[in-house]
Structure 1
Amino acid sequence: MYKLKQNRVRASIIGAGYIADWHADALKATSGVDLVAVCDRSASAATAMADARGIKAYTDVNEMLAANVCDAVHVLTPPDSHKGLTQACLRAGVHCFVEKPVALSSDDTREMADTAKETGKVLGFGHNFLGIPGYQRLKKDISDGKLGRIANVEINWQFPLGPLRSGPFGLWLMQETCNLLLELGPHPYAFAVDLFGPLDIISLDVGKFITMPEGGTRPQSWRILARAGDVDVTLNLSLVETYDDRSVVVRGSSGMARLDYANDVLTKQFDNTSDIVLNPLVKQLSHGGSHVMVGLANFTKQLVSLNRKSPYALSFQGAFKAFYTAIREDKPLDVRFAPDAGIEVMQAIEDTLDLLPPEAPLERPTGTPEPDVLVIGGTGFIGRELTRQLVAMGRDVRVLSRGKNGPFDDISDHVELFSASLSDPESLDRAMQGIRTVYHLGKSLDATWEAALKNDVGVTVAIAEAAQRAGVERFVYTGTIASYDMSDPNAVITETTGFAEDMTDRNLYARSKAECESQLTQMYLDHGLPLVIARPGIVVGAGGPLQHWGIGRWHGAGAVRIWGRGKHNLPFVLNADIAKGLILMAETDAAVGQSFNLIGDPMLSARGYFDAIHKAQNARIKVVSGNLTMFYLTDGVKFFLKKNVLRRKGISRPSLADWKSRAHFAQFDNAHPKQVLGWEPQANEDSFVEDAITKANLFGF
């Protein structure tokens, strides 16, 4: 085996998406490991992560492997690329830790395992929840016989899957029904296999189907009955807006244990020998005491670690500890994360999918689109509605998309999915060919102002320059009302209301969008860019999320801490009305050089909105007022710790006025888009509630 320098392992990450930050943080907490590089086909994504972590960025895996910069890689790309990447890395002499699902079939998983044996490298699979401390205690209790003879286990993954209702729909996860179980199934299946061995799948029941934008359906509830030896196994998956229950419940002859693995809480119940009167009290006190002890322990752990030891973080740390211990000490990998267990998990998922009812194939229309409209951000909430309205008007649309699949399969004869690098002028020029109107609805999610200047402002300017080179007739940019100072309840905002000259004390999103507007406006003044700026309000409607962060900070589907007291009117607007406004901006010559705040007529406060949800859906959501000064002070403590303890670079702290702006205290006058564009947003409150709540399928069923 390769001798590691000073017994330290050089690790690299392949895939700079959301999960990469969790891996990077866990690697930082893993003894004997140095994160040295990140590789992603997107140069901007790779560079952003590399700059934030002080590591090397690559856009080509072969180049990274040839540079011999790492001893181990974490494969975090879409699952359909796992097999090829993993085998290439193993054959290059690099150990591999692969995120779940490790592959698309049990055969592919076996091939990966065979390659690891041939090359003598460690191959670990990312069944990370098996790494939390509570699970290890549960496993030991079962092994020691403390729960007695085990009769059955119920494993739950009951957690909302927002993309099923609000996108993005181009994700691998969304492309086929089987991908849902391939992506989410490894969590519950891994528990069952690790505790009781290979699973014999008995039955599958699916329900709560949701219709996708292109017309197909996806089940949101899965109930699988299985058996492992003489243990009955039930696996439940629920993906609607439901109370979070990610748990393993084990019932034995001597007791019952429940592991809440999302929160690392293990509680146990046993019979007691008290008399018939005291027995109920003693039993419940024992059960309650168990919760209190675990809760205090977890609270203390997260407090002293600055939340670096949250249950989710600990799950990765536990898995990585096992993986890198096997590498550094040249010994077999812990069975929880080893290939044999991964093969059993994938085989059980495959056996389950064999029971999935066949789906009727979708009929794709024939015909080749001839687009003259380009929508950047067309697979997002507003972009989907805009694209469909344009098609309904007889227009063909080009949508910039990373993937080949999207939410427009049913209108593919009028919508062209086009892959282009937003940082490559030649690629943008190709995207602009034949285009008369450009809608730029895109945005980047950045952690520092430097990254925002590059990935949001810089990209926006590059798109506008490409549009001018192509001679487009209209360039419509979507900014945000968040760029305004909305902290004054007595203020009335119109399009003549300016942004602050100094935006350095604003949140990055508001500041970045304002800078984009400033740069584009200068291009209009200096070079005649046919610019129109739209600033949508709080957008609601079909395809939008229940847990809308423009209203408050959510704590699950059933509880929200609203920004402020929530008694003043909020700038709500229907998504369909936003799309109509954007179309009018392209059709109205007088709109060029102007900006429009697309805000519906004043109707509902935050509390009124949730009252309407209760009335229309019989779902009472717990609504708590949020003290904005406390939000600001708490954020200040976090900022201090991130900057001075965690040594995060380039971070900024929003001001108190910025936090108050999140409550949208200021009111808006929407007369300007009505007068110039002839825009008519929904003005009837009952009809608004019908579209925003009743027909919006907020809960998924």
Structure 2
Amino acid sequence: MSQTIRVGLIGAGYIASWHADALRATEGVTLSAVCDVSLGAAQALADGFGGQVFTSVDALIDSGTCDAVHILTPPHLHHDIAVQCLQGGLHVLVEKPVAESADQTRAIEAAAQAAGKRFHAGHNFLGMPSYLRLKDMLTRGELGRVSSAEIAWTFPLAPLRSGPYGLWLLREPKNLLLELGPHLMAFAVDLFGTPEIVHTALSHHVALPGDDRRPQGWRILARAGGVDVTFTISLVEVMDDRSVTLRGSTARARFDLSADTLIVDRDNASDLVINPLRRQMDKSWQHLREALRNAGTQLRSLNAKSPYGLSFRGMNAGVYDALRRDRPADPRFSGASAVTVMQALDDALALLPEDALTPAAPAVQTRKPKPTAMVIGGTGFIGRALTRRLVADGRDVRVLSRGRHGPFPDLPDSVETVGVSLRDRAALTEAMKGIDVVFNLAKSMDKTWDDALRNDVAVATGIAEAAMDAGVRRLIYTGTIASYDMSDPTRKITEDTGFPADMSDRNIYARSKAECERQLLRLHATRGLPLVIARPGIVVGAGGPLQHWGIGRWHGAGAVRIWGHGHNILPFVLIDDVADGLVRMIDADAAVGQSFNLVGDRMLSGRGYFDAIHRSLGARIRVSSGNLYAFYASDAVKYALKKYALRRPGVIRPSLADWKSRAHFSPFVNDKPKEMLGWTPEPERDRFIEKAITDANLFGI
């Protein structure tokens, strides 16, 4: 193997940046290529980490720029791409799940053997420093004879309750286990050997659109190497517990993989009075040691070595050190281990009745939809509710999405989902032919202003121009109330309030949406764009998340720091009321060229909202006030580190007024949509709480 291994990334989604960052920190490795069907996504990743850009695997292989690749595409593509790359002479590391079955995994390993190349599994958590300490203790016998182990992944999976529903992991019930199970099963295989699965049970089912049920709880019992192993997966809104606990005759050890800590509970030989004190003191010192070690790591690395990031670095070190030195593959990440892991998951699925793994059949289409409305962003929270409201009103709807899997399997006669690039004006224009009204709910969460101009502002104006080209009668654009300066509690906000003239010191999302509105209003004034602007408030209700960042900064499902003191009334609005307001804009001719703040009647403060959750659902969430001056000061330190120490381009520092605006101190007046649109948001407090909280399935239980 060459001294420096050239690695390419196939797939430029969220996980790719973690791989790229870890590769940059791995000795003897360089990132030489990025491949994605989206040229923009590939280029954006390459701009940050380097590498030649490709849009096809064939082109990447033919270029000769790589010795190995990391395959980071959706799992249903893993097998074919892995085999193609192995046959093309490349080593492969495949993100978990490496395939959709053990048979597919064996086929990848067979292709690696035939090609004389290596197939590695992306079981990154096996590379965490504290896990290696745990494994070393087990090997040295410091835990005694281990009789049982509990391996848990209890962490909320919001898409199960609030979407997006087109993700691979939600297409079939088994995909949830295939997505998360490899993490857990890889620990058991590495520590104890091949598991024998003896029991599998499901719980806490939730209904996806179309009454397609998915389990949120999985319990698997197994034996491996003489050890009883319990695997627990819980995806409801639960306190984070991702851990490996080993119970031995000498000690009990708990590895927390979300924090990269290891705590060992040991017996001692003191008398009965001192014994429990010593035992608790020992654990206390360990907790302090782990906390200081982690804090030191983060300070020295300027937060570049998070536990999750360290897991990828550890994995890369194990994979590429052996490859560079021409040594046998690290068993933790070998193809043989991947086969064992996937076989155990297949065995667990085989113990379930067939109907538990069968997705609900989509409704049979009896006619082809004839859309007169288009929803861009129709798979999101507001988009889903709006689409269903349009159908209820008798309209057929065309939903624009990145793929063809939309959250409307029960509406095949009325909803069609089409995949069109929002940057392709010609394709957008073609998709809008015959469409009467277009709702643009799209948004882009960018880190720099240049990215926002490219990904949000340019896209919004491109959609508007396509709508004019296609002769659309009405374009309804959703901005955000976040664009207002809401820092002054004495100033009431109406649609005439206006945004600050200079928004360069605002957060990028608020600034970008305001710029979108400015550009669209210019098109209305100069070219007659039939525009209406809607700015929803803090939207709540069925299909929305528990951990709503419009209210505060969340620290898991059980704790939130409210923006500000939390006693001022917040601009809540029910999701059904937002959909109603948007629909009313279609035929209100007087609304053209106007903007409307869709904010409900004054109901609850932030603290009142969480008190209502406690009273309605019996769940007390730990609520703390958020000192906005402290947030501002902390952000100033982060800004300085990012700009001057890490030298990241395009970093901004939001103003104090921007931080205060997150608390929504300024009250809203909602008279305009009521008078011009006939809009009537829920006026009764008890009914509001029922719809926003009681019936919203916030915890998934």
**TM-score of the pair, normalised by structure 2:** 0.98
1:115-138, CA deviations, whole angstroms, 9 ceiling, x for partnerless residues? 112222232111111110111011
Asked if the contact 1:122/1:326 (under 8 Å) is kept, the reply is no
Listed one character per residue, the Cα deviations across residues 598-619 of structure 1 (whole Å, up to 9, x for unaligned) are 0001111111111111111111
Q: Secondary structure at the match of 1:587?
A: coil
Find the counterpart in structure 2 of residue 72 from structure 1: 68
**CA deviation after TM superposition for structure 1 residue 278, in Å:** 1.3
**Alignment partners' CA distance in 1, 2:109 and 2:447:** 37
Per the alignment, residue 160 of structure 2 pairs with 164
Which AA in structure 2 matches 1:248?
Answer: V
Does the CA-based 8 Å contact 2:146-2:248 persist in structure 1? yes
The residue identity in structure 2 corresponding to 1:649 is P
Which amino acid in structure 1 is aligned with residue 361 of structure 2?
A: L
| Greater displacement, 361-370 / 121-130 | 361-370
Return closer, same or farther for 1:56/1:481 CA change in 2, 3 Å cut-off. Answer: farther
Partner of 1:464: 464
Letter in 2 for 1:241: E
Q: Does 1:475 align with 2:475?
A: yes
Q: How does 1:333-352 map to 2 (within 5 A)?
A: 333-352=329-348
Q: Where does residue 125 of structure 2 map in the other structure? A: 129
Distance 1:490 1:69 in 2: 62
Which residue of 321, 324, 334 maps to 1:325?
321
Matched residue, 2:531: 531
CA distance in structure 2 between the partners assigned to 1:330 and 1:459 by the alignment: 49
Matches within 5 A, 1:85-234: 85-234=81-230
After superposition, give the CA deviation of every residue in 1:257-296 in whole Å (9 maximum; x if it has no partner): 1111111111112211111121111111112221111111
Within 5 Å, which residues of 2 pair with 1:273-284? 273-284=269-280
Among residues 274, 287, 292, which one is paired with 1:291 in the alignment?
A: 287
Q: Does 1:692 align with 2:688?
A: no
Shift, 1:552, TM fit: 0.6
1:302-325 CA-to-partner distances (Å, cap 9, x unmatched) read 111111111111111000111121
Match of 1:561 in 2: 561
How far has the Cα of 1:371 moved from its partner?
0.8
Q: Give me the whole-angstrom Cα distance separating, in 1, the residues matched to 2:60 and 2:652.
A: 32
Deviations 1:410-453 (A, max 9, x none): 11111101011111223212321221110000111212111111
Q: Distance in 2 between matches of 1:343 and 1:564?
A: 51
| Rounded Cα–Cα distance in structure 2 between residues aligned with 1:647 and 1:116 | 41
Per the TM alignment, residue 573 of structure 1 is displaced from its structure 2 partner at its CA by 0.3
- Structure 2 unmatched runs, 5+: none
Q: Where does residue 659 of structure 2 map in the other structure?
A: 659
Kept in 2, the 8 Å contact 1:570–1:605? The answer is yes
Distance in 2, matches of 1:476 and 1:129, equals 45
Partners of 2:485 and 2:499 within 8 A in 1: yes
- Where 1:492 maps in the other structure, the secondary structure is coil
Q: Which deviates more from structure 2 when the two are superposed, residues 544-553 or residues 121-130?
A: 121-130
Letter in 1 for 2:44: A
Q: For 2:699, what is the secondary structure of its paired residue?
A: coil
Letter in 2 for 1:590: A
Counterpart AA for 1:491: R
Which residue of the partner structure matches residue 371 of structure 2?
371
**Residues 1:362 and 2:358 aligned together:** no
Partners of 1:239 and 1:418 lie apart in 2 by 30
Counting only pairs closer than 5 Å after superposition, residues 9-28 of structure 1 correspond to structure 2 as 9-28=5-24
Q: Which amino acid aligns with 1:462?
A: G
In the aligned structure 2, how far is the partner of 1:72 from the partner of 1:496? 58
In structure 2, how many angstroms separate the alpha carbons of the residues matched to 1:165 and 1:316? Answer: 29
User: Counterpart of 1:391 in structure 2: which amino acid?
Assistant: V
Q: Using the alignment, how far apart are the partners of 1:57 and 1:664 within structure 2?
A: 43
Moved more, 350-359 or 228-237: 350-359
TM-aligned CA deviation for residue 458 of structure 1: 1.0
Partner of 2:505: 505
Q: Which amino acid aligns with 1:32?
A: G
2:248 corresponding residue in structure 1: 252
- Deviation string 1:307-353 (CA, Å, 9 cap, x unpaired) is 11111111110001111212222222211011111111100111111
CA distance in 2, matches of 1:363, 1:648: 47
Give the CA deviation at 1:149: 1.1
C-alpha distance in structure 2 between counterparts of 1:616 and 1:259, whole Å: 36
Q: Give me the whole-angstrom Cα distance separating, in 2, the residues matched to 1:231 and 1:246.
A: 20
Q: Distance in 2 between matches of 1:460 and 1:69?
A: 37
1:469 aligns to what SS in structure 2?
helix
Check conservation: 1:124, 1:338, Cα contact below 8 A: yes
Q: d(CA) in 2 for partners of 1:228 and 1:595?
A: 63
The one-letter code sitting in structure 1 at the alignment partner of 2:73 is T
Superposed displacement of residue 363, structure 1? 4.9
**Would the aligned equivalents of 1:421 and 1:427 in 2 still touch at CA under 8 Å?**
yes
Which residue pairs with 1:312 in the alignment?
308
Percent same amino acid among aligned pairs? Answer: 58
Q: CA deviation at 1:690?
A: 0.3
Q: Quote how far apart the aligned CAs of 1:54 are.
A: 4.3
Distance across 2 between alignment mates of 1:358 and 1:667: 54
Q: 2:54 aligns with which of 37, 52, 58?
A: 58
Question: Which residue matches 1:426?
Answer: 426
> In the alignment, is the contact (CA less than 8 A) between 2:246 and 2:252 conserved in 1?
yes
Q: Letter of the 2:442 partner, please give it.
A: G
1:489 counterpart letter in structure 2: P
Could you tell me whether the CA contact under 8 Å between 2:210 and 2:362 is conserved in 1?
no
* Structure 2 counterpart SS, 1:672: helix
Deviations 1:523-542 (A, max 9, x none): 11111111000001000000
**Aligned amino acid, residue 366 of structure 1:** Q
Matched, 1:600 2:600: yes
CA distance, structure 1, for counterparts of residue 489 and residue 362 of structure 2 = 53
| 2: CA distance, partners of 1:328 / 1:427 | 47
Choose 111-120 or 468-477, whichever is displaced more.
111-120
Q: What residue ranges of structure 1 are gaps of 5+ in the alignment?
A: none
Question: Does structure 2 retain, via aligned residues, the 8 Å contact 1:259–1:267?
Answer: yes
Q: Does 1:577 align with 2:604?
A: no
1:95-134: CA deviations, max 9, x gaps?
Answer: 2111100000111111111111222223211111111011
Whole-angstrom distance in 2 between the partners of 1:283 and 1:504: 56
Secondary structure of 1:614 counterpart: helix
Cα deviation 1:674-699 (Å, max 9, x = unaligned): 01000000111110000000000000
What residue is the counterpart of 1:382 in the other structure? 382
* 2:38 matched residue in structure 1: 42
User: Could you say which residue in structure 1 is the equivalent of 2:673?
Assistant: 673
Letter paired with 2:136: K
Residues 171 and 403, structure 1, Cα contact 8 Å, conserved in 2: no
CA distance in 2: counterparts of 1:364 and 1:232, whole angstroms: 43
The 10-residue stretch of structure 1 (605-614 or 402-411) with the greater mean CA deviation from structure 2: 402-411
User: Is the CA contact (8 Å cut-off) linking 1:48 and 1:451 kept in structure 2?
Assistant: no
Distance 1:426 1:190 in 2: 48
Alpha-carbon contact 1:464-1:475 (below 8 Å) kept: yes
Assess if the C-alpha contact under 8 Å between 1:452 and 1:512 holds in 2. yes
Name the TM-score, length of structure 1 as normaliser: 0.98
Please give the alpha-carbon distance, in whole angstroms, between the structure 2 residues aligned to 1:440 and 1:385: 14
Helix, strand or coil at the partner of 2:89: coil
Output one character per residue of 1:63-108: Cα deviation in whole Å (capped at 9) or x when no partner.
2222222222211110000111112222222221111000001111
